[in-house]
Every structure is written in C-alpha cells, then in structure tokens.
Amino acid sequence: MIGIIDSGIGGKGIEAEVRKLLPGVKIHYLADKKNFPYGTKPVKLLRKILSENIETMIKKGSKVIVLACNSATVSSVKYLRKKYPNIKIIGVVPAIKPAGKRTKTKNIAIFATPITSKSAYQQELIDKYFKGVKVYKIPFKNLAQIIENHQNPTLEVGLVWSKYMNKNIDTIVLGCTHYTLIKPEIQKIVGENIKLIDSNCAVARQVKKVYNSLRKGNDGLE
C-alpha cells in the first residue's frame, strides 16, 4: 500500500496523479487537519507530528510513503529517512530545476509557505540550479489556510503579487501542494504569459518507480 501524508487537502493533486499511473493500487491518504498547517510550525514539532503519522501509515501496511507537502519535505525528509530506513519515503520539493531551464528573463518567483521559503533545503536547490537567475522567494502565511477552507484566494494572491508584478518574472514555482489546487486562479492573476510549474507529476512518476521496484523484489506490496 502507498501512504500519502499532508496537513489537509493539498496532497490530493499528487494522489490524483499517482492513481493515474498506478490504477488499482491501494492508497491511504492521511489529511492531518488537526495539525494544519505544517508550513508555519517549528521544525522540531513538525518532525514529531510527521513521525507519528508515518508510524500510523506503517501500521496500516504502507511501505511507500509520500510526504505530499513541501514544508514537511524540506524540513524533515532527511531526518525521517534516517529514522525509518526500511520505509521508502518520497518527498516533494519546489520544482526549481525545470524552472531554471525554462526561464528566459532569468527572473523567477517561488510561491511557498514561510517554512519552505526560509529553508536551507530550498536554498541548496536555488544555489545548484539557478545560476545567474534572480530569485524572488515569496512566502504566503495564510494562503494554504484559505485554500483548505475553500475560500476565495484572489485577494491574498493579488495583494502579494502586486509587489512583484513589475519584476520581469516569467516563471513561478508553486512550492506548496495546496497552491497547485488553485493553479487556474493563480494563472489568471499573474497573467497567461507567466509559466506556473509544480512537482505533482514528477512526484507521481517517482512513486511509480519506487513502488514497481519494490514489487519486483516481492516485498509484499498490494
């Protein structure tokens, strides 16, 4: 079985892509609403929460677990992989590499939560793939909550974007899985000429690769 963990509905986009690639495979989605949001929590507390959720998934039979949350991944995936060496833990990180290849103006924005925006993990990716590129790290404190509550995100996104709309940005990385759920709304606000990039499909492909590898090894996967 495949387990998918997020603090709410954000990981549903990844779940949909995984189901396309692995139809019929059992998937357990854990929407950890009681600890929502992950993106504003101290790292030590978040690791404790994620450890508890992973242990729940293990008890349910998951041998492949997706941290369907950029904040959880950039803050904790290395720690969790070391703590649970017998479980394949797949994370989600901002799609920085493809954005670096795509930009023509060499001006890129990353929409993310506060914890992702200031993480060393994201900065490592920026340093590696954004040579000669101006990067605008744009944190949204409340956007995930707005999306989770099915509220209109237009005002929040519009107010923040108004500070950057004249920066010649041609590519925006959606560095939070919640944000991918409102991709059309974001596109309308920033304009059709700006490319929005997320990690959903890439993560699903990695899940399929890992799952099939374990299945070939007769690892008891369903």
At 61-115, the pLDDT tens digits run 999 999 999 999 999 999 999 999 999 999 999 999 999 999 999 999 999 999 9
104 and 187 in a common domain: yes
pLDDT of residue 222: 52
169: nearest Cα among 117, 200, 130: 130
112 and 86 share a domain?
no
| Structural domain contains residue 221 | no
Q: Are residues 115 and 130 in the same domain?
A: yes
- Per-residue pLDDT at 10: 94
CA distance 66 to 18: 10
Check residue 218 and give its pLDDT.
Answer: 60
User: Among the options 18, 30, 66, 176, which is catalytic?
Assistant: 176
126 with 51, same domain: the answer is: no
Q: 150 and 189 share a domain?
A: yes
How does DSSP classify residue 62? -
- Residue 192: give the domain boundaries: 96-198
CB-based contacts of 10, cutoff 8 Å, min separation 6: 68, 69, 144, 147, 148, 176, 177, 178, 179, 180, 181
Q: Is residue 114 a contact partner of residue 176, using CB atoms and an 8 Å limit?
A: no
In a domain, 118, yes or no: yes
- pTM exceeding the 0.85 threshold for the entire prediction: yes
Helices (H), 60-199: 70-83, 96-102, 114-117, 120-129, 143-148, 154-161, 177-180, 183-190
Judge if 84 and 139 occupy the same domain.
Answer: no
Q: Are residues 104 and 76 part of one domain?
A: no
**pLDDT tens, position by position, 106-122:** 999 999 999 999 999 99
User: Which residue ranges of the chain lie beneath pLDDT 50?
Assistant: none
The pLDDT of residue 219 is 55
- pLDDT score of 48: 98
Residue 222 lies inside a defined structural domain of this protein: no
Indicate the number of domains in the chain.
2
Distances from the Cα of 178 to the Cα of 86, 92, 144, 174, angstroms: 29, 12, 6, 9
Q: Are residues 81 and 49 in the same domain?
A: yes
CATH number where 88 lies: 3.40.50.1860
Count Cβ atoms below 10 Å from residue 124 Cβ, excluding itself. 13
Question: How many whole angstroms separate alpha carbon 146 and alpha carbon 123?
Answer: 26
Is residue 9 a contact partner of residue 147, using CB atoms and an 8 Å limit?
yes
Residue 77 sits in the same domain as residue 46: yes
Q: Find the catalytic residue in 14, 46, 67, 69.
A: 69
Place of tokens 């941290």: 67
pLDDT at residue 215 in the model: 85
112 and 84 in one domain?
Answer: no
Same domain for 136 and 76, yes or no, is no
Same domain for 88 and 37, yes or no, is: yes
Q: Is 176 a catalytic residue?
A: yes
Active site residue 69: yes
